[in-house]
Amino acid sequence: MAVREMAPKANGEACGVCGGRTYVIERRGDQAQARICACSEHCSVCGGRGHVLVEREGEFSQKVGPRRYEVMEQCTCTKLRKRISRFDALGIPASAAHATFDNYRASKEEQDRGRNVAMQFAYQYVQGNSSKGFILSGPVGTGKTHLLAATLAHLALELGVRGRYVEISLLYATIRRGFQEGKSGGEIIGPLSEVEVLAIDEMGKGRGSPFEMETLDELIARRYNAGRTTLFATNYSLEPEKRAVRSAAPSGYRTTEDARGAVREMELLRERVGERIYSRLCELCTFIEFPKDTPDLRRTRQEMEAPMRHPSGHGRPLGR
């Protein structure tokens, strides 16, 4: 996040709750939400009015010359409330509530590149301009959702950009429920087509049914035609050369999940979404692919924490 002026406490120090950001991000249910920190609930600038008088200088005619005048502008507290509202509307999952570029942990060079591409996109984003997005490909647990969430959070809280996060299979499920309520797919896709920046997670996931392909194609086509920016993350490979190195499945015992994972590793995103959508992705996005052996951060964290737990399973640290 961009550096803000530290919100002072009564003793002049920065607030220990929000760290000077003036807002706090929390997990509420299954989504990330934000609120104004207690240190900034009462604005000392506008006294709670939400607007301030600002003195300007302008030249309206050469004869009169420069003149000073006052205009009414939104106070910073009003802008903060709007940005918090934009963040709350993102739909970022609760599991990524505190995702930032600073706390992203990379173990591979490609992950560092992914973070740098996402940061550059976020920090150099110009509101209202059409910008090239990015697509992150890699195994599960490698921080793709983390980077999508960090990007959207920065855009909403620092720039006030209207964005949305969607997990593609949940979008399909939402549209199916909408059919039962008499809604059309277009009614649900419409708002997603219009937000300035949309992040689509788990691209390629699903059964690949005609309904799913038509839904995805319509959503991307609408955004493509309107020149709007879209970000993506997928577990499927972006590398076209993988088709040439496919081999027979290894013999021996494998669990169902192992088998599914092996198939997914060999399957290409272009096969999951079709040539039309894939062609548009090539134009819309910078491609970043994490290697197959990139560690699963969630599994690594679990394995590191396991030795610290008591053998009985009650979570007491060993040696205590």
- Beta partners for residue 33, in sequence order: 26
Q: 246: which residues sit within 8 A by CB, 6+ positions away? A: 266
pLDDT single digits (tens) 196-237: 999 999 999 999 999 999 999 999 999 999 999 999 999 999
Q: 10-residue block means of pLDDT along the chain (320 residues)?
A: 43 78 95 94 86 78 74 88 97 97 95 98 92 96 97 97 97 93 88 97 94 95 95 91 44 49 68 94 96 84 59 47
CA distances from 56 to 50, 67, 69, 106 (A): 19, 8, 5, 47
Place of tokens 């599914």: 260
Cα separations (Å) of 27 from 6, 36, 153, 262? 23, 14, 14, 34
Residues 73 and 78: their CA atoms lie apart, in Å, by 10
Q: Which of 79, 92, 147, 161 has the alpha carbon at shortest distance from 118? A: 147
**Matching residue, tokens 């005609």:** 210
Give the residues across from 59 on adjacent strands.
66
- The full set of domain ranges for the chain reads 89-244+259-301
- What is the per-residue pLDDT for 307? 57
For the stretch 192-214, what's the b/e string if a residue is b when 16 or more beta carbons lie within 10 angstroms of its beta carbon? bbebbbbbbbbbbbbeeeeebbe
283, with CB counted inside 10 A (0-12, 13-18, 19+), is: exposed
Which pLDDT value is given to residue 184?
84
Neighbour tally for 32: CB within 10 Å:
25
Q: Which CATH number fits domain 89-244+259-301: 3.90.650.10, 3.40.50.1700, 1.10.3720.10, 3.40.50.300?
A: 3.40.50.300
**What is the reported pLDDT for 211?**
93
The answer to whether 193 and 164 are in contact (CB under 8 A) is no
Residue 81's alpha-carbon distances to 37, 94, 253, in angstroms, are 11, 20, 56
For residues 16 and 39, give the distance between their C-alpha atoms in angstroms, rounded to a whole number. Answer: 9
